[in-house]
Amino acid sequence: MDRVWKTALLAAPVALLSSCQFEKSGATGWNYNDSKNGGFEKAPFEDQENGPGLILVEGGQFTMGRVSDDLLHEWNHIPRTVTVSSFYMDEVEVTNFYWLEYLYWLERVFAADYPEIYKKALPDTLVWRSKLAFNEPYTEYYLRHPAYRDYPVVGVNWLQANDYCAWRTDRVNEIILIREGLFEHYPNQINEDHFTTDAYLAGQYESGKKVDGVQDFNPNRDTRNIRMEDGILLPRYRLPTEAEWEFAAFGLVGNTVDERIIERRIYPWNGHWVRYDSRKKGGAFYGDFRGNFMRGKGDYMGVAGSLNDNADVTAPVFSYWPNDYGLYNMAGNVSEWVMDVYRPLSPEDKDDFRPFRGSVFKTKVLNSDGAVQDKHDLVVYDVDGIKYFLTEFQKEMQRKATPEEAKLIDDLLAAIDQSIEFNNTRKSDAAMQRVQDMVDMIKGQDLEISPKLLSGISDYQADQPGDIRMRNVTVEENIDRRNYRQSDNIDYRDGDIESSIYYENPDFEGNAMYDWGKTTLVNDRARVFKGASWADRIYWAGPSTRRFLDERQSTATIGFRCAMTRVGSPVGLGEDKRRKNIKR
């Protein structure tokens, strides 16, 4: 009897393995990961990996907008209850050293053939200059000297910040594939032959592969690339939305008891005061400022011997105390770019779930076979932007340009008109080649204005070699769609014809509401930035305050930090209290 029992125990695992070798579909009963029945695959997945530098911000509802007096009486942050989904956010602002790492990569990959890509990414160090102050040392040392390596990068405009987010996404996903043994370090990437997440997923990047791929259960293939369905690659790094930034800055998770917020905050900490008020542990920091901002007129740092915020301009990113999410400097140091396009009455117009203004819907360009078209092998420019730049440059150079310089400008304007014509007739490659010819034309003439022209044109790059081709969606392909029809929705309900006094005249030409440069500085390029900087009074340290600046402009007081979408559970693996109780 004892021998029979032992035999049964030995046979049980074999029977278990044979019956549970494949997980079965709850809908059809067919096996997953079984090449014998077609090989539909179910990859193992537990939870989203935490990207480098990120902290999970658990979402929820909160009252977005004004929580104190509207000192400027702009009425641009009207209170409204909204819900923000959980997301990830950088613990600290992007630093000078992180940006130098970015510049080094761009120079190594593009500088030989496309130096304008590197030049576009350079921060404007001249933002430190002032007509009545001696700030020249910052223009020379702030970005590159190791003493400032852990300070937030400034002089970066909104477009540059977005380019950095895209680059960071690709480098993080590349190192994940290297970690998983699918790629090896490949430092010889150059021009369009460099790793991007989109190009890899489209099967248009093979360099640097260590192995052909992972096992494919499809009986007609041996291996395949990693897919989004595998859950290995991370979502995109991006700028946070205005609602996300404000929600994260308040850190109301620290004031929540069950479903009650026990104290509404003005700043990222409790109370209406701005100094550290705890006497615990001897009160070593008692009375110190909680952030880096101006105390009063002309007072940026305090009194010698007792520097209150210990910073004359910016401070190292891990200075002061983090808020209840663990985020540093959400009320001082530098103001920060967010994704949103500015409108004064956005709080009234935006959705109350994941509110955001600035949606421009795009899709991948497909070839005649329905596959993703080959990635760019040239720099892609905003040709209309270049036309604007050259026109304004010509106006400024009137009566100052030499005959040779005037002829060069005229030739460039004629060439950009040809490029615009090519672009309007969907001959994008010919249009970009014409711009590249313009760049070569400028380099071929040793004139004083040549560097200025090259720098100005480089600012209007849209895509780099190696990027997947994207286009705006069209109304024609959305005929039966109800949730949206057109691509650009920036003006929706605030700036379009229907929201203006010309709503009865659909043929009205011109700017229906925001006549930029005459009655307002608001347009579709006005981007929101949030929070106080080292040069701001404490009023701006309230997360609900909002300001705006053109997306191509930068200052010595604006930096940024990245965010990432949280997919799946809003609380993370094993954090759901109800699930824990069920397990008990």
DSSP string, 179-209: HTTSB---TT-BTTBS--HHHHHTT---TTB
Residue 581, helix vs strand vs coil: helix
465, 106 in Cβ contact below 8 A?
A: no
Tell me the C-alpha to C-alpha distance, in Å, between residue 18 and each of 49, 210, 261, 386.
33, 34, 54, 67
Stated as kind and residue range, the H or E segment containing 433 is helix 428-443
- For the record, the structure tokens of 501 come out as 């006094």
Q: Which positions of the chain have pLDDT values less than 70?
A: 1-20, 279-284, 573-584
pLDDT, position 573: 61
Residue 337, helix vs strand vs coil: strand
Measured CA to CA, the distance from residue 234 to residue 165 in angstroms comes to 13
Give all strands (DSSP E) within 198-292, no chain letters. 214-215, 223-224, 237-238, 256-257, 260-261
Identity of residue 379: V
CB contact burial 326-347 (16+ within 10 A = b; e otherwise): ebbbbbbbbbbbbbbbbbbebb
Q: In this structure, which long-range contacts are made by residues 117-121, counting pairs with CB atoms below 8 Å and at least 24 apart in sequence?
A: 117/379, 117/458, 117/461, 117/464, 119/454, 119/455, 119/458, 120/160, 120/163, 120/458, 120/459, 120/461, 121/160, 121/163, 121/164
Measured CA to CA, the distance from residue 429 to residue 417 in angstroms comes to 15
* R_g over Cα of the chain: 28
Task: Report residue 335: phi and psi, to 5°.
Answer: -70, 165
142, 87 in Cβ contact below 8 A?
A: no
323, 268 in Cβ contact below 8 A?
A: yes
pLDDT, position 258: 83
pLDDT, position 72: 80
Give Cβ neighbours of residue 368 (< 8 Å, ≥ 6 apart).
none
234, 172 in Cβ contact below 8 A?
A: yes
Stated as kind and residue range, the H or E segment containing 442 is helix 428-443
Measured CA to CA, the distance from residue 100 to residue 359 in angstroms comes to 30
From the list 475, 463, 396, 470, the residue with the least C-alpha distance to 432 is 463
Classify residue 567 as exposed, middle or buried by CB count within 10 Å of its CB (0-12, 13-18, 19+).
middle
pLDDT, position 507: 84
- For the record, the structure tokens of 578 come out as 């109800």
pTM: 0.92
Identity of residue 268: P
| Predicted confidence (pLDDT) per residue in 120-130, tens digit | 999 999 999 99
